Amino acid sequence: MVKIGIYDRYLNTLGGGERYSCKMAEILSKINDFSVDLITDIYANLEDVSNRLNLDLSKVNLKIFPFISDDYTSEITSNYDIFINATYLSSLSAKAKYNIYLCYFPTPFNSDFKLIHKFLLIFFRLPALWLFKISDKMIKNSSYIEVKEGLYDLKRFILKRGSWSSGKIVLRVKSFSLKNLSFGKLSLGFKNPASSGLNEMNVTVGVFKEDRKAISVDKIKINKNNLIKLLNKNNINNINNNKNVNNDNEINYKNLTNKNPNYSYYEDFKTLNENNLIFEKKFKLKNDEKINLEIPLSAENNNLIIITSDTFIPSNVDNKIMDSRTLGVVLYDNSKISLFKKIILKILGFIPLFLITYPIKLKFLNTYNEIIAISEYTKYWIKKFWNKDSTILFPPVDIQNFYITEKEKIILSVGRFFPEHHNKKQLEMAKTFIELYKQYPEEMKNYQLILAGGLENKKIHNDYVEKIKEISKGFPIKIMTNISWQELLDIFAKTEIFWHAAGIGENENKHPEKFEHFGITTVEAMAAGCIPIVINKGGQKEIIKEGQNGFLFESLSELKEKTIMVIRNKKNLESIKQRAIEDSKLFSNEVFEKNLLEIINKAINLGFANSSKLNKFEK
C-alpha cells in the first residue's frame, strides 16, 4: 500500500487551489493500492467539499493536524511514502520518502508585512520558537487522543479552548496508562453557546471498545440479517435495486440516510456495535450552559468516543452572520494539567503564527525532492526568487461539465472575494461596469454584471463585499457568494462575456504575486462558450491569444473599449468563441490526470528504488 498525504491548510476556503489539491486526491485515491489522506488544520466536511468542487472524495481520508510547531507537523509527514504540500505560502519541512512542493506562486513570505510585523519578527521570534518547542513536547505527551472527525478547530481543542463541532464528533483514545488520565477517565466539557439560538441542545456521548469487530456506519457490506433493523428504522427499501449499491455488493449507507431528518448516526453505530458499548450518557444543555463530564474508558482496548448533538446554522439564526456551517456542541478538553502548562497553552493562543512559520533562509525547500509549478508564469518566478527548477502541471478544469444555452446579456467574473494578496479586483470591475453603463447607455441596455465567488466568514472579507454592494446600488450588478457548482454552471452557460482583472493597477515587477498565477475560471468561461476579455498579465497570457480565442487588455479603459467592441460585433465573433471552446481542452481533467500520474510514477520509482513498491498503476 502506497500512503500519500496531501496537505492543504486552507481546505475550508474552497478556492481554485483547493480544487487543484482535491482533484489530485480524487485521482490518486481511485488507484489500487493507494491510500490518500487530505491533511488540513480546520475541519471541513468532505461531502460538502465534493459537492462544492464537483469532485468524488469518497475514497479519501480526512486528517486534521493543526500547525503547532514545525517539528510537530513535519513529524506527521514521515508517515507517508509520498507527501504533497499543496498549501499556499507554506514553509513546512517534509520527511516522507518522497516529497513534492506544489507552488501556486513563490510569493515572498513578507509580502504583506507592515512595520508591526517586522518589529515582532525581530524581537519576539526567538521567544515564540522556544514556547512552541515546549508545547510540542507537551502535545506529544497527550497524543493518545486522536480526533477522527467533527471538530472545526482542532488547535483550539489542543490548547484547552472550546472548539465548535459539526454535531458529530468521533474521538479515538489509544491505549493509555493511568499517568495519562485521572483514574482511567477522560474529562471533557460541553457547551451550548448563547449564539446557537437553541433553548435546549440534546447531546449523546457513547464510548465503545475498538477492536477488529467494530463496524463503521458510513459504508457497510449488505447483510440483510445485520442491517434489516437499520434499514427499517430509516425507511430504506428496495436496497438491491438502489443506486447506492455498487458492483462489490456494498451499500453506501451514509447516502441513503442523508435526507432522513430523523436519522441518528449514534443510534445506528450503537446498534451495530452494541456488544462493545461500555458507557453512554444522554443529556440536555440549556442555552449558554456548560457542563463537565468524566468519561470512563477501557484500559484493555482503544476507545472510540462518539458524540452527537443538535445542530444549527449561524446564518439562519442571525441574518447578519454569513457563517453557513452546520454547528453543534462546543467541546473542551478538561484533562488536568499543571499550572505551568496552562500558562504556556494560554500564551500560545495569542502568538501570531507567522513568528513561527516565517522561513529565514528558505531551508525548508531543501526537504523537497520536486517542485511543481502551476504555469509558465509561476515557473519563471520560482527560478528568479528561489533559484529552483520546477515541473509544470497546469490546473485541472472540468471542461466536460460545461454546456452552452441561449446567451443572455451577462458579463461575468468569477473568483473568491477578499481584499488582500492577489485579490480578483471585483471592486474595480464594478466601477468599470458602472462607467460603461453611464457612457454607453444604448450598447449596455439590459446588460448586467454578475460577480460570483466564494466568501470566507472573515470581517475583512465581508466588509469588502459590502463595499462592492454599496457602490453598486442602482445598477444591474449582482453579487453571488458561495453558490453551488450547478448554479455556477448555469450562469456560465448563459453568459456572453467573461472578465478577469486580477492584478490591474499593480506593478508586475514589484508585486508579481498579485497577478493571476494561471486562470482556471478563464478556461471554464472558454469551455462555456463565453468570450474572454482578460488582463494581459500573469498566467492569463498563456491561455488567451489576442483576437484568436479571446481578448487581452492592459488597462481598465482598454477593458471598456474591448467590451463595447465585442458587444457591437458579437455576430462576427463566432469563430473566436469556437476556438476558445477547442483551446479549453488543453487544460482538461484528462490531460491533468495523465501528467499527474507521470509525476507520481517518477516519485515512486525514485522514492522507493530499493523497495517492492509499485512501479506502475492499476486503476
3-class DSSP state of 374:
coil
- Mean pLDDT, residues 25-31: 95
450-470 b/e with 16+ CB inside 10 Å = b? bbbbbbbeeeebbebbeebee
Q: Tell if the pTM clears 0.85, that is, is over it.
A: no
pLDDT at 185 over 90: no
Of the pLDDT bands very low, low, confident and very high (cuts 50, 70, 90), residue 612 is very low
Please tell me the predicted confidence (pLDDT) of residue 617.
Answer: 53
Please tell me the predicted confidence (pLDDT) of residue 189.
Answer: 95
Of the pLDDT bands very low, low, confident and very high (cuts 50, 70, 90), residue 183 is low
Top-confidence residue, 237 or 451? 451
pLDDT at 226 over 60: no
Top-confidence residue, 515 or 157? 515
- CB-based burial of residue 267 (10 Å sphere; 0-12 exposed, 13-18 middle, 19+ buried)? middle
**Distance between CA atoms of 31 and 586, rounded to whole angstroms?**
24
Q: In degrees, to the nearest 5, what angle opens at C-alpha 233 toward C-alphas 230 and 236?
A: 80
- Mean pLDDT, residues 290-318: 88
pLDDT at 58 over 70: yes
pLDDT at 65 over 80: no
Please tell me the predicted confidence (pLDDT) of residue 176.
Answer: 58
- Mean pLDDT, residues 251-264: 51
Of the pLDDT bands very low, low, confident and very high (cuts 50, 70, 90), residue 301 is confident
pLDDT at 287 over 60: yes
- Mean pLDDT, residues 437-459: 93
**Distance between CA atoms of 594 and 237, rounded to whole angstroms?**
41
- Mean pLDDT, residues 542-570: 96
Top-confidence residue, 346 or 377? 377
CA dihedral 275→281→284→286, nearest 10 degrees, is -140
**Cβ distance 163 to 330 under 8 Å?**
yes
Of the pLDDT bands very low, low, confident and very high (cuts 50, 70, 90), residue 230 is low
pLDDT at 24 over 50: yes
Cell digits for 74? 513535519
Distances (CA, A) of 532 to 274, 326, 438, 477: 59, 37, 22, 19
Please tell me the predicted confidence (pLDDT) of residue 598.
Answer: 94
pLDDT one-digit tens code per residue, 88-134? 889 889 999 999 999 999 988 887 788 888 888 888 888 888 887 77
Q: What is 1-109+359-396+588-612's CATH superfamily?
A: Glycogen Phosphorylase B; (3.40.50.2000)
Distances (CA, A) of 81 to 25, 93, 103: 15, 15, 20
Please tell me the predicted confidence (pLDDT) of residue 545.
Answer: 96
What does the mean pLDDT of the chain come to?
A: 84
Of the pLDDT bands very low, low, confident and very high (cuts 50, 70, 90), residue 71 is low
Please tell me the predicted confidence (pLDDT) of residue 263.
Answer: 55
- Mean pLDDT, residues 206-233: 56
- Mean pLDDT, residues 60-80: 76
Please tell me the predicted confidence (pLDDT) of residue 275.
Answer: 79
Please tell me the predicted confidence (pLDDT) of residue 68.
Answer: 60
3-class DSSP state of 308:
strand
Top-confidence residue, 428 or 240? 428
- Mean pLDDT, residues 278-301: 90
- Mean pLDDT, residues 532-541: 96
3-class DSSP state of 79:
coil
Domains 1-109+359-396+588-612 and 399-586 share a fold: yes
> pLDDT > 90: what percent of the chain?
51
pLDDT at 283 over 50: yes
pLDDT one-digit tens code per residue, 311-327? 998 888 887 776 777 89
> pLDDT > 70: what percent of the chain?
84
**Distance between CA atoms of 619 and 607, rounded to whole angstroms?**
21
**Distance between CA atoms of 336 and 612, rounded to whole angstroms?**
46
Top-confidence residue, 160 or 472? 472
Please tell me the predicted confidence (pLDDT) of residue 418.
Answer: 92
Please tell me the predicted confidence (pLDDT) of residue 43.
Answer: 80
Please tell me the predicted confidence (pLDDT) of residue 390.
Answer: 97
**Distance between CA atoms of 240 and 219, rounded to whole angstroms?**
15
Of the pLDDT bands very low, low, confident and very high (cuts 50, 70, 90), residue 266 is confident
Domain 399-586 of CATH type 3.40.50.2000: yes
Q: Where are the domains of the chain?
A: 1-109+359-396+588-612, 399-586
pLDDT at 613 over 80: no
Half-sphere exposure of 18 (CA within 13 A, CB side): 23
Strand pairing class (61-64; 34-40)? parallel
pLDDT one-digit tens code per residue, 191-202? 999 999 999 999
- Mean pLDDT, residues 374-402: 95
Please tell me the predicted confidence (pLDDT) of residue 124.
Answer: 87
pLDDT at 250 over 50: no
- What is the H or E stretch that residue 607 is in? helix 589-607
**Cβ distance 276 to 210 under 8 Å?**
yes
